[in-house]
Amino acid sequence: MIIAAVRLDKFIMPTAPFIESGEGPRLAYVNRADADLIAETMVAFANTEGGMIIIELQEDGEVASAASEIHDISRLLRLADDLYNPPVVTEDWEEIDLAAPNQLMQMPAADGNGGSAGADLRGKTTVYALRVPRSTELHALADGRVLIRSGKVNRPLGGQEIQRLASAKNTGDFESEAVPGATIDDFSRAMIDEYLEKRAERTKRPYSGEVNSLLAEVGAITANGKPTVGGLLLFSEYPQRWLPQSGVVFAKFVGKTPRGESGLAGYSRREELIGPVPRLIEATWNLVWSEMAISAVVKGLEREETFEYPQFAVREALVNAICHRDYRLRGRRIEVRMFSDRLEVISPGGLPGFITVENIKDEHFSRNPRLVGGLFHWGYIEELGLGIDRMMEVMEQAGHSPPKFDARPYSFAVALHNERAQPELPEWSRDTNHRQARALQYIRESGSITNREYRGLIQSVSAETLRLDLVDLVEKGILTRIGAKKGTYYVLRE
């Protein structure tokens, strides 16, 4: 085990909620002095997204037996260090008194995927925390197993999965590479201030240290102060100066194919978007929003708008494309294509690591973890690792088919289809205009309608037009008129 000289206070989410959320992709409890289990968890975290190991804590949040002596924990970690290869870089272990909340301000929040019920911290004593960062190397146990963190378990990979993960590791950590010609003056102070504000809102703790120290901790600059790829993407007003592939191309097509008449391009609108990734997300979202069809359904006296696609699903597709694209590929930008029947978001670069279309809902591995972390603190990512799952849920809730994924060696596409099962209209509403349909719905809910009530329901049309609407419904045999003059009202004809 190699101890990294990294400050623990760079993680500023409170530990109490972190522990209360239960075990998950970035948090593991080891309830006994078991070097094998600790080694397995260290390898799994290092091979995936990194995480925190809490030693001496049980799954229910209770401290397991009496706290171990410090020298026993050190010996335990040395034993674990002999059970894997290559060495895993970690930070030094930390002694945590769960009865002293002020000590619990040094670890990151869990993303909650697969977490167990919250732990009751009352009466807890001392546990030991070990943070394992994500590694750029592929780590294996002494028996040859390669593990990843999947939910709240350590899962061994199969042969092809190992090859894909090894390939992802071998490509290097592109987002943390220094960009030739860029200096820290190319960062926008306004973007940094906005990030600090959003980060403080999310973590509930303002950052009070040196800005350059924070930039180094989040991977925006190298150890010698040079801007990285990830730093320019987050904090430069115009990262496309160095990374022209980092923009977005939007196109709205008339029909279901990219081709129009006579083989010409069939788009009605085309835009090229630039800027730092937070601005790209907002600009692309606003563009899609402006082109999205909106329908209205009247429920009682309320008008309810229904969007062509669920808002969360669209934003998740856009954020995922910008977070996880392969920025090494210089010849292609992210493409957003709107057709009459679907929305496609195409991201350069295949699926990272061991991720496949089959396991994309359950597994998580980031190509650009620092960029993901930055957008998480910015508020564009709600819970790490849960977006695809929820995207599927909201599409189903809206009556659409699930998102369709197309994974290729150098691109990954998400398609959201806008077909929605249309409810069968009742017979009495099929031969009416939209005003009459609202009147009939009102009668079904209230039993009857008067001319005065109809005028209150439809306020943008003359009283004479509305009177004729009701007369027309009587003549069609849909309504029956009862009473005379001011006492007239209408009911559905039986």
Helix (H, G, I), strand (E, B) or coil at 461: coil
How many structural domains are present in the chain?
A: 4
Residue 274: in which H helix or E strand, if any? none
- Checking if the pLDDT of 484 tops 90, the result is no
Model confidence at 462, pLDDT cuts 50, 70, 90, reads: confident
Residues 40 and 151 in one domain: yes
Residues 6+ apart with CB under 8 A from 362: 150, 151
Q: Does residue 422 form part of some domain?
A: no
- Checking if the pLDDT of 198 tops 60, the result is yes
- Checking if the pLDDT of 219 tops 70, the result is yes
Helix (H, G, I), strand (E, B) or coil at 241: helix
Q: Does residue 42 form part of some domain?
A: yes
Rounded to the nearest integer, the mean pLDDT of the chain is 84
Residues 98 and 190 in one domain: no
Residue that finishes a domain, picked among 372, 387, 417: 417
- Checking if the pLDDT of 425 tops 50, the result is no
Q: Within its chain, how far is the Cα of 185 from the centroid?
A: 31
pLDDT value of residue 11: 35
Looking at the chain, the whole-number percentage of residues with pLDDT higher than 90 is 54
Residues 286 and 378 in one domain: yes
Distance CA(282)–CA(413), nearest Å, equals 20
Residue that finishes a domain, picked among 239, 257, 279: 239
Q: Does residue 98 form part of some domain?
A: yes
Q: Check if the beta carbon of residue 117 is closer than 8 Å to that of residue 59.
A: no
Residues 280 and 307 in one domain: yes
- Of residues 47 and 256, more confidently modeled: 47
Tokens of 458: 């439809």
Q: Check if the beta carbon of residue 278 is closer than 8 Å to that of residue 234.
A: yes
Domain with 456, as residue range(s), is: 427-492
Residues 307 and 405 in one domain: yes
Provide the CATH number for the domain around residue 444.
Answer: 1.10.10.10
Residue that finishes a domain, picked among 133, 163, 193: 163
Residues 54 and 140 in one domain: yes
| Residue range 337-355: mean pLDDT, rounded | 95
Provide the CATH number for the domain around residue 253.
Answer: 3.30.565.60
Distances (CA, A) of 197 to 10, 228, 289, 295, 370: 16, 22, 26, 37, 18
- What pLDDT, in 10s, does the model give residues 5-34? 433 333 333 344 445 668 889 899 998 888
pLDDT value of residue 19: 59
- Checking if the pLDDT of 377 tops 70, the result is yes
Q: Does residue 174 form part of some domain?
A: no
pLDDT value of residue 13: 36
Preceding amide of 101 cis, omega within 30: no
Nearest one of 181, 160, 168 to 134, comparing CA atoms = 168
Cβ neighbours around 86 below 10 Å, total = 12
Residues 206 and 326 in one domain: no
- What pLDDT, in 10s, does the model give residues 259-309? 765 666 678 889 999 999 999 999 999 999 989 877 655 555 555 667 889
Q: Check if the beta carbon of residue 2 is closer than 8 Å to that of residue 90.
A: yes
How much helix, strand and coil, in percent to the nearest 5, is found in the chain?
A: 35, 20, 40
Distance CA(364)–CA(351), nearest Å, equals 11
- What pLDDT, in 10s, does the model give residues 78-91? 999 999 999 998 87
Q: Does residue 72 form part of some domain?
A: yes
Q: Does residue 79 form part of some domain?
A: yes
Q: Within its chain, how far is the Cα of 44 from the centroid?
A: 22
Distance CA(289)–CA(307), nearest Å, equals 9
pLDDT value of residue 285: 95
pLDDT value of residue 299: 55
Residues 11 and 87 in one domain: yes
Beta bridge partners of 148: 155
Q: Where are the beta strands (DSSP E) in 196-341?
A: 248-253, 267-273, 294-299, 302-307, 334-338
Model confidence at 110, pLDDT cuts 50, 70, 90, reads: very low
Nearest one of 178, 4, 10 to 91, comparing CA atoms = 4
- What pLDDT, in 10s, does the model give residues 230-239? 999 999 999 9
Q: Does residue 106 form part of some domain?
A: yes
Residue 417: in which H helix or E strand, if any? strand 411-417
Q: Does residue 178 form part of some domain?
A: no
Residues 377 and 437 in one domain: no
Q: Check if the beta carbon of residue 254 is closer than 8 Å to that of residue 406.
A: no
- What pLDDT, in 10s, does the model give residues 308-330? 899 999 999 999 999 999 999 99
Provide the CATH number for the domain around residue 89.
Answer: 3.30.950
Tokens of 137: 């190397």
Residues 220 and 255 in one domain: no
Residues 92 and 196 in one domain: no
pLDDT value of residue 1: 65
pLDDT value of residue 105: 36
Tokens of 187: 């960062």
Residues 8 and 33 in one domain: yes
Q: Check if the beta carbon of residue 51 is closer than 8 Å to that of residue 27.
A: yes
* AA letter at 434: H
- Checking if the pLDDT of 463 tops 60, the result is yes
